[in-house]
């Protein structure tokens, strides 16, 4: 696949919503170990609101779609991850105003802008045991994977999944898990795991084109 179209962007969000719903208990369990146990419920609730909004108000271009996702996540998901993912999608929307399709290089560059927004808001760096630890290597992989969107997103999804597992030995330095200090070691980060699910959904819908 050479371009990522509005239809795929829409499917990405629907597929992600289903994946987050399906994995809600897993994400809550991961969060219960090093946080307050609400990450899965937060994400499932937010994406369910996003899907409803998309159905009642179908966006005309990719920018409008991502903007609506961002606004809805900001208004429905509390905690740390809500504003971070909300800001991420708002940034994706800013980068894609009026667009009907994106090539692989553009997809990489909008994800980079989204990651930069997460780092600006959350002040997390690589290795702090957060969303950043899954998203950063996934985007790096995508960058080196060439111009085929399906192949690039598949490679990125695999990297994100491995990267989420690699958060297990890390000491949390940001968010609620950081209050545990050394006791955060030995547990997989819930936010890195939800990012891996988002990347997996992106790869799935890109493969279908
Ligand atoms: P809360 O911690 O407020 O209950 P969630 O449970 O929904 O929020 O989300 C927790 C996840 O948010 C963590 O697993 C981590 O990946 C992510 N997170 C927390 N703080 C930050 C931050 N400053 N930067 C990036 N990600 C963060
Ligand atoms: Mg939580």
The long-range contacts involving 156-161, CB below 8 angstroms and separated by at least 24 positions, are: 156/199, 156/202, 156/203, 157/196, 157/199, 157/200, 157/202, 157/203, 160/134, 160/135, 160/195, 160/196, 160/199, 160/200, 161/196, 161/199, 161/200
CA-based max dimension of the chain: 48
pLDDT of residue 121: 97
Percent of the chain with pLDDT over 90: 97
Atom of ligand 1 nearest to the CA of 191: 16
Which of 175, 176, 187 has the most ligand 1 atoms within 8 A of CB, as the residue to mutate? Answer: 175
pLDDT in tens, 93-118: 999 999 999 999 999 999 999 999 99
Residue ranges around ligand 1 (CB below 6 Å): 31, 35-36, 38-39, 42, 79-81, 84, 118, 122-124, 130-132, 174-176, 189-192
Query: Is the separation of the CB atoms in 209 and 149 below 8 Å?
Result: yes
The answer for residues whose C-beta is within 8 angstroms of residue 8's C-beta and 6 or more apart is 205, 206, 208, 209
| Average pLDDT taken over every residue of the chain | 97
Q: Which pLDDT belongs to residue 169?
A: 98
Whole-number pLDDT of residue 78? 85
Q: pLDDT digit string (tens) for 149-196?
A: 999 999 999 999 999 999 999 999 999 999 999 999 999 999 999 999
Specify the residue with its C-alpha closest to ligand 1, atom 4: 79
In this prediction, residues 196-205 reach a mean pLDDT of 98
Structure-token pair, residue 169: 């030995």
Q: Which CATH architecture best describes the domain 3-208?
A: Alpha Horseshoe (1.25)
Under 8 Å between Cβ of 30 and 39:
yes
Q: Please, which pLDDT band fits residue 1 given cuts at 50, 70 and 90? A: low
Q: Which ligand is nearest to the CA of 170?
A: 1
Residue 206, pLDDT > 80, answer yes
pLDDT greater than 80 at residue 209: no
Q: Is pLDDT at 147 greater than 90 in this prediction?
A: yes
Closest ligand (CA of 189) = 1
């Amino acid at each position: 696949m050479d371009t990522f179209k509005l239809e795929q962007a829409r499917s990405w969000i629907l597929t992600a919503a289903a994946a987050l719903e399906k994995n809600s208990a897993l994400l809550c369990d991961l969060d219960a170990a090093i946080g307050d146990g609400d990450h899965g419920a937060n994400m499932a609730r937010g994406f369910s609101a996003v899907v409803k909004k998309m159905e009642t108000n179908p966006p005309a271009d990719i920018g409008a779609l991502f903007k609506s996702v961002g606004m809805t996540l900001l208004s429905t998901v509390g905690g740390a991850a809500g504003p971070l993912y909300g800001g991420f999608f708002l940034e994706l929307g800013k980068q894609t105003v009026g667009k009907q399709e994106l090539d692989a290089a553009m997809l990489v560059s909008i994800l980079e802008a989204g990651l930069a927004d997460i780092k600006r808001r959350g002040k997390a760096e690589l290795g702090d045991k957060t969303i950043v630890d899954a998203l950063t290597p996934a985007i790096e992989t995508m960058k080196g994977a060439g111009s085929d969107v399906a192949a690039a997103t598949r490679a990125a999804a695999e990297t994100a999944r491995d990267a989420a597992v690699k958060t297990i030995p890390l000491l949390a330095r940001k968010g609620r898990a950081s209050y545990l200090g050394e006791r955060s070691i030995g547990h997989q980060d819930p936010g890195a795991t939800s990012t891996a699910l988002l990347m997996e959904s992106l790869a799935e819908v890109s493969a279908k084109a």
